[in-house]
Structure 1
């Protein structure tokens, strides 16, 4: 077995070299055929004196009828026409070599390495020229009908084999190109999904940090003011800070765990805490105890999809955070939530500084809310109220029909909104 393997490897090495060096392989083939043709011609094995004796010019004509095979891949039509023309001239002048071997290879090369109208024109020219040659040979008695038929079959078969090889090669290249294109598209889609996921995680981090930190700052200020005069109030504020901090840490741990997870350390879905939803509004409102919130809820919030519930919860959380950060002193924050007619409507109205908050500089809260709404085909409108204060209206579709395109007014009438 070892001997057979070594022999196969020894045979495969030169074959592999010829496959990777196509021009060198064609040159070697042309030299081999040319050597055989010239040798047969110079030996003059014809005993019936049917063929012309070898001379320098007959030798050159024999070489011309086979040597152009060396260019059968780079210029198949040109070399094929040259070979066929030289072979027809040699046949008409009764010059013997290796017969039509060069023509057979040339026709195979035309079928395997060319296509289009130029090939069609060349084939018509070659076919007419060879037909006239064979018919003339049959007419003068130098070619019988059997030889005429066999020669025609051999030449046609050579072209058909080359053409079939070309078609199979084109099909294989097309399949490879499709596979590469599909792989590129898959990689592009993967990158887009990664980018979308990173954007979502960034929004989640912004919501968690902005809401939790703002609550903790307010509670810390209350604890500092009441530390000496009302220790019980200060203790309650510190308890709220601790609870808010723990809740923020748990949510951050869940989000950042996605970034660190891999196939060996990813947690199962049932071990992860569920994302916040509209059903947890009571907890969210209680955590905003520093705001004078009055709220009303109508409609069933339990049957909302996961994307709508998470989006609604986060956008409401952001709206309350904006009230806390930008509205200034407020005496009334009205929260209205309604689920009806395939839409979830969330309205947050405060009586704070309203349009005067423009002086606080731009932010990214409403920009993030706008992106969240667009992700579920919803809309956000935010702006100052005529009598003072600020109003945010969130509309999210819960049925198949999406709402109209989002209106996104700013305090100055432009698109920029900093709350």
Structure 2
């Protein structure tokens, strides 16, 4: 029985509301017409009695559009039908449906007006009928129940609306978070591609420019320069393939990111660079390792490409609470075109790890220094 009721309620919710109203109107009209089809012994109801009785059902077709007006019309038709002694049913079906509708979808004033109009009308109808106390009690109870059911339907509809709005807001928040995550991922990939390409292209340019000079003065060094160009190009292609693969398939596994163990090969690829490590190295998070590698890579790129440095010193200072990276050169600074994006990327990477980064002229105003401090989590 409960399953049948649930199915019926689901059918009513998913059906066109005006089709439901038409069906209710027909049902009530058929119910109130039965006494005219099968009249009681002793008399045949007249046409006026039937018209007044039909007036308690037909207005229900407009119950959603003008609920209070429909209730007033149905109540007046019911009272008038009692006055002409029209045969009726034990329950005023039209009045019950009209009162339920006002309670469910009417405003505050309409509801109070419905209560003020219905119960005096009910009292008048009972007075025209039997005028017995038991019928007063029964009829008032039935109409009060219809009103309460209408208010419960209104509360359920309001709750469904609130839940729907909440779900819509949650969906919008999820879309916003997804868009923000996508923007962050695009920014991260842009930084990665900038670091990879800037470093590789800078090395290839430097080695290519030194190649002709080495061919004339030291042929054995020319071969090393060309080998360095090829190695830088291959490394850039490998990293670019990994990032492009990530873009093609977001759900696919990511390739391994650079770590601190790969810093010596990176620095060895820059002929003018040297590495010095102080303190006791320790295990750090993958974010710190990647940030440290990219900061050194970008600083080397700036020194070679923009500062035209002949010497670059990379210092890694391991303290108990942080890793301090210092990259200093003897060049002319990084004020050339393209240097600004790399320095911004250095600061962003340090900040993302909870650290700080400082860039500026070296000691005595000579050269350029990049210093980044990456703290260890407590």
1:324-335 mapped onto 2 (5 Å cutoff) = 324-330=304-310, 332-335=311-314
Q: Is 1:375 the equivalent of 2:352?
A: yes
Shift in alpha-carbon separation, 1:257–1:301, aligned structure 2, 3 A: farther
Shift in alpha-carbon separation, 1:371–1:329, aligned structure 2, 3 A: closer
What are the Cα deviations for residues 139-172 of structure 1, in whole angstroms up to 9, with x where unaligned?
A: x882333333332333233333333344334444
Report what 2:62 is aligned to. 71
For 2:99 and 2:43, how far apart are their aligned partners in 1? 31
Report what 1:389 is aligned to. 367
Q: Is 1:323 the equivalent of 2:311?
A: no
Report what 2:4 is aligned to. none
Of 228, 231, 242, which residue of structure 1 is paired with 2:219?
A: 231
For 2:54 and 2:173, how far apart are their aligned partners in 1? 53
What is the Cα deviation at residue 20 of structure 1?
3.4
Normalized against structure 1, the TM-score is what?
0.74
CA contact (8 A) 2:258 2:293 kept: yes
CA contact (8 A) 1:279 1:302 kept: no
3-state DSSP of counterpart to 2:365: coil
Of 103, 109, 126, which residue of structure 2 is paired with 1:111?
A: 103
Normalized against structure 2, the TM-score is what?
0.82
For 1:18 and 1:368, how far apart are their aligned partners in 2? 56
What is the Cα deviation at residue 96 of structure 1?
3.9
Report what 2:3 is aligned to. none
Query: Which runs of no fewer than 5 residues in structure 2 stay unpaired?
Result: 1-6
Q: Is 1:366 the equivalent of 2:343?
A: yes
Report what 1:417 is aligned to. none
What are the Cα deviations for residues 314-334 of structure 1, in whole angstroms up to 9, with x where unaligned?
A: 01110111011111243x433
CA contact (8 A) 1:279 1:301 kept: no
What are the Cα deviations for residues 88-133 of structure 1, in whole angstroms up to 9, with x where unaligned?
A: 344355444556121111122223333x522541343145414643
What is the Cα deviation at residue 308 of structure 1?
1.3
What are the Cα deviations for residues 23-68 of structure 1, in whole angstroms up to 9, with x where unaligned?
A: 244245435644664685698647389xxx6465x55544443332
For 1:359 and 1:240, how far apart are their aligned partners in 2? 25
CA contact (8 A) 2:211 2:222 kept: yes
For 1:71 and 1:19, how far apart are their aligned partners in 2? 19
Of 77, 80, 87, which residue of structure 2 is paired with 1:86?
A: 77
For 1:77 and 1:299, how far apart are their aligned partners in 2? 85
Report what 1:288 is aligned to. 270
Shift in alpha-carbon separation, 1:364–1:261, aligned structure 2, 3 A: same
Of 271, 275, 292, which residue of structure 2 is paired with 1:312?
A: 292
RMSD between aligned alpha carbons?
3.5
Report what 1:279 is aligned to. 261
Report what 1:7 is aligned to. none
* Range with greater deviation from structure 2 (40-49 or 241-250): 40-49
CA contact (8 A) 1:226 1:233 kept: yes
For 1:283 and 1:162, how far apart are their aligned partners in 2? 78
For 1:181 and 1:72, how far apart are their aligned partners in 2? 33
CA contact (8 A) 2:357 2:372 kept: yes
Query: Which runs of no fewer than 5 residues in structure 1 stay unpaired?
Result: 1-11, 401-419
What are the Cα deviations for residues 7-36 of structure 1, in whole angstroms up to 9, with x where unaligned?
A: xxxxx9xx9799533224424543564466
Q: Is 1:353 the equivalent of 2:319?
A: no
CA contact (8 A) 2:22 2:61 kept: yes
* Range with greater deviation from structure 2 (227-236 or 84-93): 84-93
CA contact (8 A) 1:44 1:54 kept: no
Report what 1:414 is aligned to. none
For 2:304 and 2:249, how far apart are their aligned partners in 1? 35
For 2:300 and 2:184, how far apart are their aligned partners in 1? 25
Q: Is 1:201 the equivalent of 2:189?
A: yes
